[in-house]
A and B are shown apart, each in its own frame.
Chain A
Amino acid sequence: GENVEQHPSTLSVQEGDSAVIKCTYSDSASNYFPWYKQELGKGPQLIIDIRSNVGEKKDQRIAVTLNKTAKHFSLHITETQPEDSAVYFCAASKNDYKLSFGAGTTVTVRA
C-alpha cells in the first residue's frame, strides 16, 4: 500500500517567517495530494490540495508544490501568524477511496 512520510515532526518559526513541510510518497500511481490543518481537539480541515496534472497551487499565504518524478510534495506557509499554529497532515491517494496520511507536523509560530 501507499506509504507517506512527513518531515519535520515539529517546526517552530518566528512570526512573519516562512514554514515548509515536506512529504514523500511511495506509490507512483498516486494522483491526489491534500493538506489538512488540525487544531487542538478538533477534526482536520482541508486547507489546500493538488492533483498530479499540476506542479504548484497557491491560495493566499499557502502554496503546495508537487514533484512527481521525485515523488514528493511540500506545503509552504508564508508570513506565518500565531493562528497558523496547529498540526498539519499531508496525504496521498490514487482515487481508490483511501487517503494515506503522513504522521503530522506540529507547527508553532512564536510571537
Chain B
Amino acid sequence: SQTIHQWPATLVQPVGSPLSLECTVEGTSNPNLYWYRQAAGRGLQLLFYSVGIGQISSEVPQNLSASRPQDRQFILSSKKLLLSDSGFYLCAWGTPGAGDTIYFGEGSWLTVV
C-alpha cells in the first residue's frame, strides 16, 4: 500500500531563517506530488505541484520554492522566512491518469517568530 511521510511535524523558525520541509511517498511510482498550505482556521491553498522529476508548477507568487530531486521526494524551501509564511503545510500525492484524487500527509506546523 502507498504511504506518505512528511517531516518535520512541527517547527518554530525566526524571521529571515531558511526552511526545508521534506516529503516522501512509498509504494507507488511516478506520483503527482503537491504542496498545500492551510492558514489557521482556513481552507487549503495549492502552492506547487509536480508531475515528474524536476517538473514544478507554481500556483501563487510567494516566498517559497519547491524541488523534486527524486521520483518520490518533494521538498518545500525558503531562503528567508516571513511572518506570513506561518501555517500548516501539507504534502499530497496522486496517481497519474486517475483524475485528481489526492492523498495528504500528516502535515507540518510552521510558526515563524
Residues of chain A whose beta carbon lies under 8 Å from any beta carbon of chain B: 32, 34, 36, 41-46, 49, 51, 89, 93, 95-99, 101-104
Contacts and interface: CB of A to CB of B under 8 A. Distances in A.
Interface stretch (B13-21, B41-49, B61-69, B75-83): B41-49
Contacts of B100: 32, 34, 93, 95-99
Contact of A103 (B34, B42, B99, B104): B42
A102 B43 contact: yes
A97 B32 contact: yes
A107 to B, nearest CB: 15
Contacts, number: 55
B1 interface: no
Contacts of A102: 43
B103 A101 contact: no
A89 B44 contact: yes
B51 A44 contact: no
Contacts of A43: 6, 90, 92, 104-107
Given A98-B46, A103-B43, A104-B43, A46 B59 contact: no
Contact of A45 (B6, B94, B104): B104
